[in-house]
Structure 1
């Protein structure tokens, strides 16, 4: 039952400061109720490959090295692309739901799944030849063999993800986050015993760890598919408009390609960071410390990612419904949540900087180096959370192309050169590389702030309306 003072968006008339305070309170509750489950969904999905690496790594150092190498490569060449492409649905499905064009939501989702399958086939061809690729690049043949075999057994996971992530966005953009939460947690609980059984009991080793991920992704996809098919909550939105299918595919790629660029360019930068650390003096120490910092940063990122997903949903819904003023309040609510969580976790990390390193290593040299880098990591917490929320605004609004170009400028034209210069020319080593990341994030935050503040939201709402009413050309 809805609380008495939580007025529906269409009943809220913009104007006074009282309206703004009431609407901000409303949006804070709505964004929080979306963000918390989505953050849990993100961490549950993140833990699937982490658990597989941990289980496989206990067998031998060779398997750990091969699995780590394959995980890094498959993330860069496959999973990041899939995650990025479906960012288009945050624009299309979210705005269609706000505009009450319910059958379009199903059409967009099915077109995304159909579009993902041929892309997965192309990526699979690359993964089949990973062993030969690594050997040609000078990697150890034994490690390359393990990595190639692991990647081969991950191919079904790629196809499972091609189905599961569009269904996730289908439910997310309608605010149906509790089914996602229950399904993600159930999948994680399913994955742990399956992974242990295939690796240790059946004796498949690292191949069993990869197969467990594949089974878990399909388990997740099938549960979501059953929910979408049989739940009354999806009765209006699971329909399909055949006449709109081709135009929906065009729209998916129109927004999906820049959305994938947004995701991949940022994801790839951190992989390059780890690779670059191997070229520094004392590469074992530098790579270990930067890997610890990256792991810590990734674990924190699930929280602003949940907030970003919630803000994207609220912004897209309100633009589709023709409520641009409420959309701007949704952005303020998201930034308010970012301010609280980034302040809390940054202070916590800074306070515990001399202790947390022991969770990863017992070597005092590593722990001290980690403590030295953690003040920079605290700054990353603040900047990454801010940019995550504004990137969510970009996906919800449909200006992913601006976000993609922003990442090119921020990270590759500014951040990466600064990091390389400080690390190698000024001999700041790993600290210099991470300084480059911080500088890139700062530039990204500044540009996104300017774009968001100067955006004409009435015009964005009109563009959202045109997207929904157009049936022949969805590129409005």
Structure 2
């Protein structure tokens, strides 16, 4: 008989204690799936905890009256599309720059990139704040209900401190995320959520501030999160190598930040704005209070789910950017496949749960049976949104980690504004499907976005991405301008 020890790979047979050796690709994929999962689970929790802050405020204000719910929903939509999405998108540049710099062991650049991002985004927040002060007049001028617009305008003014906090919180979050320091982010986010709930209830009900109290609670909670994140970055030994700042490199670092931040912001804002356009358009439908309330509930629920695959996308962005910076293209490729597996599992679970609870989950936002019944009718479409939105969020992480945000931005233009928006407006207004028609347009746009991003990812040359990362981070220097 042939000695089994002389056999190799899959040719080994079970003889005594010997077992077949799994293929190398299976071993590597399993290891990468574990790596992505270890990051994805905490990051998904972080994104959910951060998103729950405004959701809780909407829920608390919404139980006061239908007018309060509509006003807060409209203000939240307007604030997202004109403010929070811009800041979140700009800071997405750090997922490319900090992630690849960390993978290339260029630790000194992480702090400079992060501080450059903070200083660069604060003036933008101040400009956006001026717009928010006049939100009520602007909403009325575009045909929104005056009562709803007044509530929305007042709510937005109290949200201005929250916007300013994001100029600090988001860069610090990316700074830690790209170093795989996800547990500190998890603890800080959970602590902030626990802080927010009693503060929100106290300001709204005990002090009787209504919807304004809900907005103030968001601002206080965001700044609380900034405080504890800042203390960790300043005093933790984990950030000792990366929190430094080279003042001579600030201007060049800011240029690189905007080079990738502007297309990253465009990529985020184009997608986010279509969802917020949904709420603004619902205010022009018959029975605007009902349509706005129902679609805001669907949008809030869809967004709450969306942040879970966003967490997977953030983990995937970190893994891809780190491995590209470290010149490991095959590991980056395996990370993408691992992310797809996690997306599919998460989408199936969440869609099944929502469909099972479709008759009752509307009561979490409103006591009106008319609102709850309408939400139940839209639940199957919402389940479909869970599937396609999660896929796009996961591939968006690949785009940010690789540094091709500009391609993602153009993909979103085609998907949402040349496809999704026309379909939604046609079905909603011309076919008189109202809110249901608008949401179908969103699903169509998200599906097209996922298809385009999947094609781009499948055709990507990972060796070429490694070369670009090396030119961007290792070969180039701040002093020589953009690499």
Q: Distance in 2 between matches of 1:422 and 1:193?
A: 42
2:220 to 215, 222, 244: 215
* Aligned residue number for residue 9 of structure 2: none
1:116 to 121, 145, 151: 121
1:400 to 400, 405, 414: 405
Q: Distance in 2 between matches of 1:288 and 1:323?
A: 48
Q: Distance in 1 between matches of 2:180 and 2:203?
A: 36
* Aligned residue number for residue 321 of structure 1: 326
Aligned pairs (5 A) from 1:237-316: 237-316=242-321
Residues 219-267 of structure 1: per-residue CA shift (max 9 Å, x gap):
1111111101110000000011223211111111111111111111111
* Aligned residue number for residue 471 of structure 2: 466
Q: What SS is found at the alignment partner of 1:48?
A: helix
Could you say if the C-alpha distance between residues 191 and 474 of structure 1 is closer, same or farther in structure 2, counting changes exceeding 3 Å? farther
Q: Distance in 2 between matches of 1:413 and 1:52?
A: 34
Q: Distance in 1 between matches of 2:306 and 2:229?
A: 24
* Aligned residue number for residue 344 of structure 1: 349
Could you say if the C-alpha distance between residues 336 and 473 of structure 1 is closer, same or farther in structure 2, counting changes exceeding 3 Å? farther
Question: Given the alignment of the two structures, is residue 167 of structure 1 paired with residue 172 of structure 2, yes or no?
Answer: yes
Q: Distance in 2 between matches of 1:165 and 1:207?
A: 24
Aligned pairs (5 A) from 1:223-234: 223-234=228-239
Could you say if the C-alpha distance between residues 180 and 246 of structure 1 is closer, same or farther in structure 2, counting changes exceeding 3 Å? same
Deviation at 1:126, TM superposition (A): 1.4
Could you say if the C-alpha distance between residues 28 and 474 of structure 1 is closer, same or farther in structure 2, counting changes exceeding 3 Å? farther
* Aligned residue number for residue 430 of structure 2: 425
Aligned pairs (5 A) from 1:27-426: 27-58=32-63, 63-139=68-144, 143-357=148-362, 359-360=364-365, 366-367=371-372, 369-426=374-431
Residues 289-347 of structure 1: per-residue CA shift (max 9 Å, x gap):
43332222122112111100000000000000000110000000000111111122223
* Aligned residue number for residue 443 of structure 1: 448
Q: Distance in 2 between matches of 1:149 and 1:431?
A: 29
**Is the 2:77–2:279 Cα contact (8 Å) retained in structure 1?**
no
Residues 445-475 of structure 1: per-residue CA shift (max 9 Å, x gap):
1111111011111010111011113124554
- Name which of structure 1's ranges 207-216 and 253-262 shifts more when overlaid on structure 2: 207-216
Deviation at 1:283, TM superposition (A): 4.4
Deviation at 1:86, TM superposition (A): 0.6
- Name which of structure 1's ranges 429-438 and 102-111 shifts more when overlaid on structure 2: 429-438
Deviation at 1:190, TM superposition (A): 1.3
**Is the 1:467–1:474 Cα contact (8 Å) retained in structure 2?**
no
Could you say if the C-alpha distance between residues 278 and 168 of structure 1 is closer, same or farther in structure 2, counting changes exceeding 3 Å? same
Gaps of 5+ in 2: 1-20
Deviation at 1:77, TM superposition (A): 1.2
Deviation at 1:395, TM superposition (A): 0.3
Q: What SS is found at the alignment partner of 2:79?
A: helix
Q: Distance in 1 between matches of 2:211 and 2:431?
A: 41
Rg bigger for which structure?
2
Residues 257-283 of structure 1: per-residue CA shift (max 9 Å, x gap):
111111111111111112323444454
Could you say if the C-alpha distance between residues 355 and 82 of structure 1 is closer, same or farther in structure 2, counting changes exceeding 3 Å? same
Q: Distance in 2 between matches of 1:184 and 1:367?
A: 30
- Name which of structure 1's ranges 41-50 and 328-337 shifts more when overlaid on structure 2: 41-50
Deviation at 1:135, TM superposition (A): 4.3
Could you say if the C-alpha distance between residues 94 and 432 of structure 1 is closer, same or farther in structure 2, counting changes exceeding 3 Å? same
**So what's the TM-score if we normalise by structure 1?**
0.90
How many corresponding residue pairs? 461
- Name which of structure 1's ranges 159-168 and 347-356 shifts more when overlaid on structure 2: 347-356
Deviation at 1:358, TM superposition (A): 5.1
Q: Distance in 2 between matches of 1:204 and 1:434?
A: 33
Deviation at 1:422, TM superposition (A): 2.6
- Name which of structure 1's ranges 219-228 and 205-214 shifts more when overlaid on structure 2: 205-214
Could you say if the C-alpha distance between residues 149 and 423 of structure 1 is closer, same or farther in structure 2, counting changes exceeding 3 Å? closer
Q: Distance in 1 between matches of 2:447 and 2:71?
A: 35
**Is the 2:196–2:221 Cα contact (8 Å) retained in structure 1?**
yes
